[in-house]
Structure 1
Amino acid sequence: MRNSRATRFRSAAVVGALVALAAGVLAPGPANGQAAAGTFGATELNTVRGAVLKADVAGTAWNVDPATGKVLVSVDETVSAQEIGHIRRTAGELAGALEFERIPGELATAAELREPAAEMAPYVKGGEYIYGADATASLGFNTARNGQDYFVTAGHCTNEVSQWYLNSSLTTYLGPTVGSSYPGNDYGVVRYDNSTIPRPGTVRCGQSEIDITGSVEPRVGMPFSIAGYNCRATTVQAVNVSINYGAGAVHGLFRANACAAPGDSGSASFSGNLALGLLSGGTTSCTTSGITYWQPVNEVLTAYGLTLT
């Protein structure tokens, strides 16, 4: 969602110092006698995940890395060496179960992404844009419950917008926000109150329309596509990711090596003909491939008793 009221801004003053420190700071190592090569059980890893949450450092995302059996903490360019040390200290004797990676740019909800940078132009351009006062987002999937039609999108947008429109001049009404969950989750539900608006159970993929016939849970290595006028293929890199945008943590996301732009919040991702997720946020840098984080769609469908149409 593009929104003039975006609230999270982190200073980049530490970036220059971090360039020199990164090699030493990010290398995982032993702490308090715990060997870095130690084996950690599920209970210990859950404890470490909780420690990262407790440390409450904005600009971080974390998940269990099955390749190493540790908790991978992705830190953006605003996170200082001192803040990384704070995360390690919070983990205490289990700090050896942490590993860190530096990612380019700043982590932000898609509402807070800066205007391009021409580099963003070839990337995601929401399925169908939807509008509220001072805001642009993307429609995720059309759904229904008990004969009433709804659509789902990003919760950080529905938290801010109560009435949605089809056009930027706000003359073609769609309907009101009737459910929203953010932070913790990142999904919202809007009820269609305009019966004249067509709402097929498809998503846009370039000049094609893809019929959505069901939904699926993300898994590492799963290929998927991002709906929009510039439909793009990507891959699930990690699941059950938590992220701290600076306004409270969001949990249960999946990560992909794709880029996002302003207005993409809530954009649909799908694998084949199956709905997969809604765009939550990502990095502000797309100099390489970018990183995005996605809310699995099954969670919102279950929470509100919705079915895909």
Structure 2
Amino acid sequence: MTHRSWLGAVVVAVCLAFSITVPVSAAPAAPWYLIGGQLIHSGSARCTLGFNVHAGATRYVLTAGHCVSAGGSWYGVGGYIGPAAGSSFPGNDFGLIHVASADALSTPLVDRYAAGADVTITGTTTPPVGSSVCYSSPASGWRCGSVTAHNQTVCYPQGCVSGLIRIAVCLDPGASGAPVVTNPGAGTTVRAVGLVAGGSGNCTSGGTTWVQPIAEPLAAYGLTLYTG
């Protein structure tokens, strides 16, 4: 997978006249990128980073509500992200993690894993039935399928979630919260569709995935997507 740089140019000065020893404790932490489709975890809970969003200057990660409903501190591939900041589940299935770490850099990117370079989010859309969409997660990689229905209701022991999009694509454990986007084909840009809420079956035998539409969390929390 290829990640685009969002840090700009880094100038490295090498002094040949003398050397300076810097204590390890004094070295700054390395910045890292928050990219849709990455693993996020809190204790034993493992989910997927959906989209990077903000409300003014306050940054958040958007993921599945059932992932963050218990609260806790959340971590990503590069370290600490921040605390859970809100959850709407059941009824809906979306939630927020506050990006409290200055080292975690928000991007408009989604990881395509072995399928190719990261794609860039340019906006949102509600795809009609028959459209091809894709999702990204460390559990399943980059997988695509067609939209088969809107306004679906799925019930769990905790309650029912309504208004979901159903797509014909398999799902593996750990993909909850994964970003669902339009199929870029041979292009490099996509539109955000929603978040993986759950599914049936698996990627060995096949299955169905349900998607929380992106418009609801953006409106509920007054959020803006990072776009490129």
Aligned to 1:281: 198
Please report how far the alpha carbon of residue 228 of structure 1 lies from its aligned counterpart in structure 2 after TM superposition: 3.6
Describe the shift of the 1:128–1:286 C-alpha distance in structure 2 as closer, same or farther (beyond 3 A).
closer
Please report how far the alpha carbon of residue 288 of structure 1 lies from its aligned counterpart in structure 2 after TM superposition: 4.3
Aligned to 2:163: 252
Q: For 2:213 and 2:111, locate their aligned partners in 1 and report how far apart those are by CA, in whole Å.
A: 19
Aligned to 2:118: 209
Q: For 1:288 and 1:264, locate their aligned partners in 2 and report how far apart those are by CA, in whole Å.
A: 16
Aligned to 1:199: 106
Aligned to 2:21: none
- Letter of the 1:186 partner, please give it: D
Q: For 2:136 and 2:76, locate their aligned partners in 1 and report how far apart those are by CA, in whole Å.
A: 17
Please report how far the alpha carbon of residue 190 of structure 1 lies from its aligned counterpart in structure 2 after TM superposition: 1.0
Aligned to 2:15: none
Q: For 1:253 and 1:162, locate their aligned partners in 2 and report how far apart those are by CA, in whole Å.
A: 26
Q: For 1:251 and 1:162, locate their aligned partners in 2 and report how far apart those are by CA, in whole Å.
A: 26
TM-score (norm 2): 0.75
Asked whether the 8 Å contact 2:146–2:168 carries over to 1, the reply is: yes
- Letter of the 2:158 partner, please give it: A
Aligned to 1:86: none
Matched, 1:218 2:127: yes
Asked whether the 8 Å contact 1:218–1:254 carries over to 2, the reply is: no
Please report how far the alpha carbon of residue 304 of structure 1 lies from its aligned counterpart in structure 2 after TM superposition: 0.5
Deviation sequence 1:205-259 (CA, Å, 0-9, x none) = 1241111010112321111111246312211100000111222110000111111
| Alpha-carbon RMSD | 1.7
State how many pairs are aligned. Answer: 181
Aligned to 1:136: 46
Aligned to 1:17: none
Aligned to 1:178: 85
Please report how far the alpha carbon of residue 198 of structure 1 lies from its aligned counterpart in structure 2 after TM superposition: 2.1
Identical counterparts, % of pairs = 38
Please report how far the alpha carbon of residue 192 of structure 1 lies from its aligned counterpart in structure 2 after TM superposition: 0.3
Please report how far the alpha carbon of residue 161 of structure 1 lies from its aligned counterpart in structure 2 after TM superposition: 3.6
Q: Which runs of 4+ in 1 moved over 6 A?
A: none
- Give unmatched runs, 5+ long, in structure 2: 1-35, 185-189
- Letter of the 1:201 partner, please give it: P
TM-score (norm 1): 0.56
Asked whether the 8 Å contact 1:154–1:187 carries over to 2, the reply is: yes
Please report how far the alpha carbon of residue 133 of structure 1 lies from its aligned counterpart in structure 2 after TM superposition: 1.1
Matched, 1:188 2:101: no
- Letter of the 2:152 partner, please give it: V
Asked whether the 8 Å contact 2:39–2:137 carries over to 1, the reply is: no
Q: Which has the larger radius of gyration?
A: 1
Q: For 1:288 and 1:158, locate their aligned partners in 2 and report how far apart those are by CA, in whole Å.
A: 29
SS in 1 for 2:67: helix
Asked whether the 8 Å contact 1:218–1:296 carries over to 2, the reply is: no
Aligned mate of 1:298, from 215, 218, 227: 215
Asked whether the 8 Å contact 2:172–2:203 carries over to 1, the reply is: no
- Structure with bigger helix share is 1
SS in 2 for 1:277: strand
Q: For 2:225 and 2:40, locate their aligned partners in 1 and report how far apart those are by CA, in whole Å.
A: 19
- Structure with bigger strand share is 2
Within 5 Å, which residues of 2 pair with 1:1-309? 127-167=37-77, 172-206=79-113, 207-228=116-137, 230-271=141-182, 272=184, 273-286=190-203, 288-309=205-226
Deviation sequence 1:15-45 (CA, Å, 0-9, x none) = xxxxxxxxxxxxxxxxxxxxxxxxxxxxxxx
